Amino acid sequence: MGIKHDIEKSQTNNKIATHYGQKKLLKLKSEVNRLYFTEGLSKNMITAKKHISKHFVIRWTQSPDQDFSIDNRGWPRGKRRKWDQHTEHRIVELHAYLKANPKAFFWGASAIEQEWRHRYPNDTVPPLRTIGQILKDMELSDKYRKHRNTGASRYLCYPENTIYHTFGKRVMEADFVGQKYLTGRTEPIHFIGFSFKTEPKFRYFKRIEAKNAKAFICGCKEVFEQYERPECIKVDNATETIGSRSGKRNISKVMAFLLGNQIWPIYAVPRRPFSQASIEGNNSVFARNFWNRRTFSTLADIDRQLAWFNEASFRYTGYEVPRSGRQKKREFVPKVYFLRQVRELSDRSDGWIEVLNEIVMLPASYISYFVLAEWHLLKETLTVHIERDKQLEFIISVPFKINLESRKKIQKGGALSFCI
Residue 96 lies in a domain: yes
Asked if residue 75 belongs to a domain, the reply is no
According to the model, what pLDDT value does residue 167 have?
83
Q: Contact, 342 vs 369, CB < 8 A?
A: yes
Q: State mean pLDDT over 392-400.
A: 95
**Per-residue pLDDT at 9 exceeds 60:** no
Domain co-membership, 272 together with 126 = no
User: How far is residue 90 CA from its own chain's centroid?
Assistant: 30
The domain that holds 226 is classified in CATH as 3.30.420.10
**Mean pLDDT for all residues in the chain:** 84
Q: Which of 59, 78, 94 is the last residue of a domain?
A: 59
Mean pLDDT of the 274-282 span: 80
pLDDT value at residue 74: 54
Output DSSP code: residue 125.
P
* Distance separating alpha carbons of residues 201 and 190, to the nearest angstrom: 23
Q: Are 102 and 235 contained in the same domain?
A: no
Mean pLDDT on 232-248 = 92
Coil, strand or helix at 245: coil
pLDDT tens string 18-34: 444 566 777 888 888 88
d(CA 277, CA 287): 15
Could you tell me the residue range of the domain that residue 174 belongs to? Answer: 155-320+332-420
Q: What is the pLDDT of residue 378?
A: 93
The last residue of one of the domains, among 137, 169, 198, is 137
Q: Is residue 130 located within the same domain as residue 162?
A: no
State whether 160 and 285 are in the same domain.
yes
Query: Looking at the structure, do residues 45 and 130 belong to the same domain, yes or no?
Result: no
How many domains is the chain built from?
A: 3
Model pLDDT, residue 178:
84
Instruction: Give the pLDDT confidence of 97-141 residue by residue, as tens digits.
Output: 998 888 888 888 888 898 888 888 888 888 888 888 888 888 887
> What φ, ψ does residue 204 adopt, rounded to 5°?
-150, 135
Q: What is the pLDDT of residue 227?
A: 94
3-class secondary-structure state, position 374: strand
Quote the DSSP letter at residue 140: -
Mapped onto helix, strand or coil, the DSSP state of residue 15 is helix
Lowest mean pLDDT among 55-59, 211-215, 235-239, 360-364: 55-59
Q: Are 292 and 284 in contact (CB under 8 A)?
A: no
Average pLDDT value for residue range 254-273? 92
Whether 228 has a pLDDT exceeding 90, the answer reads yes
**What are the backbone angles phi and psi of residue 230, rounded to the nearest 5°?**
-80, 175
Single pTM value for the model: 0.71
Q: Would you say residue 151 has pLDDT above 50?
A: yes
Give the strands of the sheet with 264-267, arranged side by side: 202-208, 189-196, 171-180, 232-235, 264-267, 335-341, 370-376, 381-388, 391-399
145 by DSSP, 3-state: which? coil
- Does one domain contain both 168 and 197? yes
Q: Is the pLDDT of residue 397 over 70?
A: yes
Q: Could you read off the pLDDT of 170-206 as tens digits, one per residue? A: 999 999 998 898 888 889 999 999 999 888 899 999 9
Mean per-residue pLDDT, 209-219: 94
Average pLDDT over residues 52-81: 73
For the ranges 14-18, 72-76, 366-370, the one whose mean pLDDT is highest: 366-370
**Is residue 296 over pLDDT 60?**
yes
Q: What is the secondary structure of 18-80 as a DSSP string?
A: HHH-HHHHHHHHHHHHHHHHTS---HHHHHHHHT--HHHHHHTTS-TT--TT----SS-TTS-
Please indicate, yes or no, whether residues 273 and 228 belong to a single structural domain of this protein.
yes
Q: Which helix (H) or strand (E) holds 254?
A: helix 253-260
Q: Do 222 and 308 lie in a common domain?
A: yes
Do the domain assignments include residue 271?
Answer: yes
Q: Which amino acid is at 248?
A: K
The average pLDDT across 398-406 equals 92
**Of residues 113, 93, 107, the one with CA closest to residue 142:** 107
At position 324, the amino acid (one-letter code) is: S
Range 36-59 average pLDDT: 87
Residue 400 has what pLDDT? Answer: 96
| Lowest-confidence segment of 13-22, 151-160, 359-368, 390-399 by average pLDDT | 13-22
Do 362 and 395 contact (CB within 8 A), yes or no? yes
Judged by phi (left if over 0) then psi (alpha if -120 to 50, else beta), residue 391 lies in beta
